[in-house]
């Protein structure tokens, strides 16, 4: 099992990567999922771990599987938010 300190940055980088690919601002994504722009920013920075409902809402809004948001990839390492 991966610990929270390792998982949060992975989720954050993937949310940022998929958000940019979709051409969404943090504010637009926040509006789609019912979070604040600050919450999206904290998730993307790896400071906050989204709860299950938020993770699935993010995945739906980004048109990806929830597993894609927690999957480590070399591409996610190259994203700067």
User: Which of 7-11, 16-20, 30-34, 70-74 has the least mean pLDDT?
Assistant: 70-74
Predicted pLDDT at 81: 40
For the chain, the structural domain boundaries read 4-71
Average pLDDT over residues 14-30: 97
Assign 3-class secondary structure to the chain. CCCHHHHHHHHHHHHHHHHHHCCCCHHHHHHHHCCCHHHHHHHHCCCCCCCHHHHHHHHHHHCCCHHHHCCCCHHHHCCCC
Predicted pLDDT at 69: 94
Predicted pLDDT at 6: 84
pLDDT digits (tens, 9 = 90+) for 27-72: 999 999 999 999 999 999 999 999 999 999 999 999 999 999 998 8
| CATH code at 4-71 | 1.10.260.40
């Amino acid at each position: 099992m991966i610990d929270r300190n390792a998982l949060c940055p992975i989720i954050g980088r993937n949310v940022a990567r998929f958000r940019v690919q979709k051409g969404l601002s943090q504010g637009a994504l926040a509006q789609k999922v019912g979070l604040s722009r600050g919450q999206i920013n904290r998730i993307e920075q790896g400071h906050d771990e989204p709860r299950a409902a938020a993770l699935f809402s993010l995945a739906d809004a980004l048109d990806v599987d929830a597993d894609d948001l927690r999957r480590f990839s070399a591409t996610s390492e190259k994203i700067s938010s």
